[in-house]
Structure 1
Amino acid sequence: MPSNAHDVAAAVLAHVGPVEAMRLQKLVYYSQAWHLALVDEPLFTDTIQAWRDGPVVVTLWDRHRGQRTVSSWPTGDPGRLSAAADKVVALVCQVYGGLSGDDLSELTHNELPWRVARQGVPDHQPSKAAIPAEEMKRFYRRRSLAGLSAADLVSGGLNGPGDLGIGSVERKQVLAAIRDDFRHPVTDAEPGFPEPVSSAFATDRGHRKPSRVEVRLHRERPQRGNTARRG
């Protein structure tokens, strides 16, 4: 049976433990986005909408509605994820898992998929517009993750920062780099990376360590609680 958004939510919680609902939603979104970029196919078919606080999987929202913190996901099974999907979710959790829900929301607001889906709707206004998978795939293929391009990650068998033994200090530097990177959105005029090849996940070829980041960690804003309003 193929995986669905519930399986991905359960897998995220298995990696990061109990999290606020907004943070869970964004980690599921980034798992979908990077899976599209690296494996060339979606993790799940559930629609992701461009809500006011960033991307939201509505089928998941209907399940955790009213909960500030989500600690388990009984309707999902991480075991249904393929080997490649499991690697993508693990990598996303390693890189983005230390960010708050507010931080992740801010990042998505600075990225093209969320903004393009809303088509000029002001940030403070609700929207139920779907974020197209092709827009996500195209955008994230041009980005880097923990200092590695999409092409580097695929050619290296999707080895992430956890595989490189990054300590707490460098982890903070990586998180600071993510914040800085996503404050500079990619435009359609910039060249993309080569198309990824799914079979590259089977081996560890040509993997290189990311360079150390010389960026100070930005102070995180206080976390917001989950609200019961949609959009």
Structure 2
Amino acid sequence: MWQIARRPRWIGALILALAIASSFAALGQWQLSRSLEGGEITEQQSETVVALDSVATAQEPLASVTTGQSVSFTAELVPGDYVVLAERRNTAGMGYWVVGHGQEPSGASIAIALGWASSTDAAASAIAQLEASPPASPPASSFSGRLLPTESPQVSDFESGVRSALAVSELVNLWQEVPAGTYGGYVVSFDPPAGLEAIDSPPPITEVSLNLLNVFYAVEWVVFAGFAVFLWYRLVRDVWEEEREGVEPNAAVD
């Protein structure tokens, strides 16, 4: 049978079958790459610092694609509008967040998680320092941090009287004045003020879902590739059987 397979006609047929199989395999690989949601993986750009107003707008909810985005902006910390949140976990354990009311030159407000403290006394001391000497002179200071969506108020906050959730809707009612609306999320500052530790804020994890239909199509292309080679083998064997029967009519086919 292999003598027949080495004939120029069948060598050419094998080359054609391999070319077809390669095409099918390439199509299977392409289909497999399309099995990832959206047909491609978009490289995460959250660590590139962009202007806050380029990815978010006051009085509008945050888009899901902006969650975890590193942003920069200028704002003045409004005296008297600091809030301490309890039960906030950090690398050193449970503690407290000091949250400030940032007001942009346009008047839009943004909640800023300034830093983490291990105790209420440490948080109060840091707030006293901020009140006595703000990070920079008015009208505004520069901030950079990670933009996150607002949290929902917790029922336990109302029962215990101790706030633990960074809910923008609640902060608006605590702040003295919000002249031009507020952003629908908050920013975790990368650079904590004196007396506070940096809040652990890792980059968001990109989840990619699998499209099983495209995986099925990819398997089909692999099967087609194998069938192209098998078809060549089957044709060569048929010719071999015919020629053998012509020489030995009563010979049993292996």
Global fold match (TM > 0.5): no
Q: Based on CA coordinates, which of the two structures has the bigger radius of gyration? A: 2
Structure with more strand by fraction: 2
TM, length-normalised to structure 1: 0.22
Structure with more helix by fraction: 1
TM, length-normalised to structure 2: 0.21
